[in-house]
Amino acid sequence: MIKNSIKKLLLIVKDLKAAYPHKEFTLDGRLVGDIGEVLAEKTYQIKLLHGLAKFYDAVCTDGTKRNVQIKATMKNHLGFPCDHVPEYYLGIRITNEGKIEEVFNGPGKIIWNKLAHKKPNKINMFRVSITMLKKLNDQVPAELRIPKRNR
């Protein structure tokens, strides 16, 4: 379902760009975030919360009940909050084929420790490169990761 829907959305974006070449029509934002959350729930041992909750999107179902903030992109950066440190942060990149690439999976404090010296911006969200998040992800011990579902 999601794979075919993403293909359709990309075709729509292509048509819009052809008609209005001065605009980008990127699929980032709320739509990509919602798709990312659904894909994360299918991949990881988490349960999405209904509606909008402040500071987190899901809870781990592995017995730990850890709170998880999920961020998704189809680009080369993700947002990380300036005003709080998520208990757990799951950053993913969605491919054009509708698959996910894990960018970061672990305690938010690992990212915060790298960003704390930066000045907050107007939208209260640090812009963090996928490259940097992957390097930080390499430092996360296996026992601190959100486990994947058994397939």
Show me where the domains of the chain are located: 29-144
Question: Among 3.40.1350, 3.40.50, 3.30.360, 3.30.160, what is the CATH number of 29-144?
Answer: 3.40.1350
Burial 74-84 (b: 16+ CB within 10 A, else e): beebbbbbbee
Q: Note the pLDDT tens digit of each residue in 3-38.
A: 898 889 889 888 888 887 867 777 766 778 888 898
Q: Are 46 and 40 in contact (CB under 8 A)?
A: yes
Sign of the dihedral defined by the CA atoms of residues 41, 58, 94, 19, in that order? positive
Please give the single-letter amino acid code of residue 24: E
Q: How far apart are CA 31 and CA 6, in angstroms?
A: 11
Q: What is the pTM of this model?
A: 0.85
Please give the single-letter amino acid code of residue 119: K
